Homo-oligomer: A and B are copies of this chain.
Amino acid sequence: MLQSHLTFGTRKEAPRDEVAKNASLLVRAGYINKLHAGVYTFLPLGLRTFKKIEQIIREKVNAVGAQEVFMPSLQPKENWEKTGRWDTMTDLFKVKDASDREYALGPTHEEVVVPLVQQFATSYKQLPLSVYQFQTKFRMELRAKSGILRVREFTMKDMYSYHTSEEDLSNFYERMKLVYADIFDTVGIGHVTKMTFASGGSFSKYSHEFQAITPAGEDTIYVCQKCNVAVNKEIIADQSTCPECGNDKLVEEKAIEVGNIFDLKTKFSKAFDYTVKDGNGVQIPVLMGCYGIGVGRLLGTVVEVLADEKGLVWPANIAPFDAHIIVLGKDETLVRRAKELEVHLGQHHKEVLIDDRDVSAGEKFADADLIGIPVRIVISEKTENQGVYEVKNRSTGTVEMIPAEKIASVW
A129 and B99 CA atoms in complex are apart in Å by 41
A339 to B309, CA, bound (A): 53
Q: Is A192 an interface residue (CB 8 A)?
A: no
Which B residue's beta carbon lies closest to that of A105?
Answer: B95
Known: A7-B117, A121-B7. A44 touches B68 (CB 8 A): yes
A-side interface size class = 35 or more
Q: Which residues of B contact A69 (CB under 8 A)?
A: 8, 41-44, 47
Closest to A154 in B: B72
Once bound together, how far apart are the Cα atoms of A126 and B116, in whole Å? 48
A86 at the interface (CB under 8 A from B): no
In the bound complex, residues from chain B placing their C-beta under 8 Å from that of A138 are: 73-74
- Residues from chain B with a CB closer than 8 A to the CB of A36 are 74, 76
User: Which 6 A-B residue pairs are closest in the complex by CB-CB distance?
Assistant: A42-B70, A39-B72, A41-B71, A44-B67, A95-B95, A7-B129
Judge if A9 is at the interface, Cβ distance under 8 Å: yes
* A153 partner, pick from B35, B74, B93, beta carbons under 8 A: B74
CB distance from A343 to the nearest CB of B (A): 17
Select A41's contact among B98, B116, B152, beta carbons within 8 Å. Answer: B116
A–B complex contacts, Cβ < 8 Å, 6 sampled: A6-B67, A7-B120, A39-B74, A44-B67, A44-B69, A73-B153
Interface assignment of A136: CB less than 8 Å from any CB of chain B:
yes
For the complex, give the distance between the alpha carbons of A35 and B70 in Å: 12
* CB-based nearest B residue for A131: B7
Docked Cα-Cα span, A40 to B73, in Å, equals 10
Copies of this chain in the oligomer: 2
Residue of B nearest to A121 (CB): B7
Chain B residue, CB-CB nearest to A135: B136
Q: Which residue of B lies closest to A117 (CB)?
A: B7
Q: A221-243 toward B: CB 8 Å interface, digit per residue (1/0)?
A: 00000000000000000000000
Docked Cα-Cα span, A376 to B5, in Å, equals 45
Tell yes or no: A387 within 8 A of B by CB: no
Bound Cα distance A131, B8 (Å): 10
**Chain B residue with the shortest CB-CB distance to A42:** B70
Give the chain B neighbours of A65 by CB distance below 8 A.
Answer: 5
Check A389 for interface membership: any CB of B closer than 8 A: no
CA A45 to CA B173, docked complex, whole Å: 26
Q: Within 8 Å CB of A140, what residues of B?
A: 97-98
Tell yes or no: A119 within 8 A of B by CB.
yes
Asked if A33 CB lies within 8 Å of chain B CBs, one says: yes
Q: Is the CB of A67 within 8 A of B7?
A: yes
Hey, which chain B residues are within 8 Å of A75, CB to CB? 35
Interface string of A20-43 (1 = CB under 8 A from B): 000000000000010110011111
With CB as the reference atom, state the residue of chain B lying closest to A43: B69
Contact A136 B47 (CB under 8 A): no
List 4 additional A-B contacts (Cβ < 8 Å) besides A6-B67, A7-B126, A73-B73: A35-B74, A36-B74, A42-B70, A74-B153
Q: Is A314 an interface residue (CB 8 A)?
A: no
| 8 A Cβ contacts from A52-108 to B | 65, 67-76, 93-95, 97-99, 105
Question: What's the least CB distance linking A268 to chain B, in Å?
Answer: 16
B142 touches A98 (CB 8 A): yes
Q: Is A334 on the interface with B (CB-CB < 8 A)?
A: no
Query: For the complex, is A321 an interface residue (Cβ under 8 Å from B)?
Result: no
Q: Which residues of B contact A117 (CB under 8 A)?
A: 7
